């Protein structure tokens, strides 16, 4: 697949700019839909995508007085790609304080559970109740690591319990 290239006069324009302005221009081109690979390979000498990415991320957003060329479509059926806003990370809830003690207590009892333990034995009931609580908290968005710390077990043990 052929990587699209910037026009020769656009490359000359970028070369004529100071470093900060050139990085801002590259950012404007990237936001218009140009790939990092296309921008890097168009420059003389060519720059790797990682360098272009570093420049683009640190560049100031500046109003461009010269129109920004749009990249050619990738195919005849696909339009020019459009950049969307970055996703925001959500803060995951922790284990509620009133549940931590209960998780620890159930975990201590469930450690004595074995496959041959009768279903109505307190240890088997604690094991089942611990699994139910952990799966419920996990579906509410509580991370596995937080659950493992609250129960006093390893991350791997908690991950296996959640996967049951």
Task: Give pLDDT tens digits for 118-158.
Answer: 999 999 999 999 999 999 999 999 999 999 999 999 999 99
Quote the CA–CA distance of 137 and 144 in Å, as a whole number.
9
Name, in order, each residue with C-beta under 8 angstroms of 118's C-beta and a sequence gap of 6 or more: 124
Cβ contact 111:123 at 8 Å: no
| Single pTM value for the model | 0.47
Return the pLDDT at 79: 52
Name, in order, each residue with C-beta under 8 angstroms of 112's C-beta and a sequence gap of 6 or more: 123
Chain centre distance of CA 158: 23
Buried b (16+ CB within 10 A) or exposed e, 9-43: ebeeebeeeeeeebbbbbbbbbebbbbbebbbbbb
Flag residues of the chain having pLDDT under 50. 77
Return the pLDDT at 77: 47
| 3-class state of residue 154 by DSSP | coil
Report residue 16: phi and psi, to 5°.
-80, -15
Return the pLDDT at 51: 93
């Amino acid at each position: 697949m052929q990587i699209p290239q910037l026009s020769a006069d656009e490359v000359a324009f970028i070369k004529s700019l100071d470093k900060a302005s050139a990085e801002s221009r590259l950012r404007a081109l990237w936001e218009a839909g140009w790939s990092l690979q296309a921008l890097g390979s168009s420059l003389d000498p060519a720059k790797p995508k990682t360098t272009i990415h570093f420049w683009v991320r640190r560049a100031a957003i500046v109003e461009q007085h010269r129109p920004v060329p749009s990249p050619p479509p990738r195919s005849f059926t696909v339009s020019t790609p459009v950049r969307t806003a970055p996703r925001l990370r959500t803060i995951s809830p922790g284990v509620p304080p009133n549940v931590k003690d209960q998780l620890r207590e159930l975990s201590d009892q469930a450690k004595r559970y074995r496959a041959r333990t009768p279903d109505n034995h307190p240890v088997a009931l604690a094991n089942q109740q611990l699994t139910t609580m952990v799966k419920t908290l996990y579906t509410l968005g509580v991370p596995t690591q937080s659950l493992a710390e609250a129960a006093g077990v390893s991350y791997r043990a908690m991950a296996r319990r959640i996967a049951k």
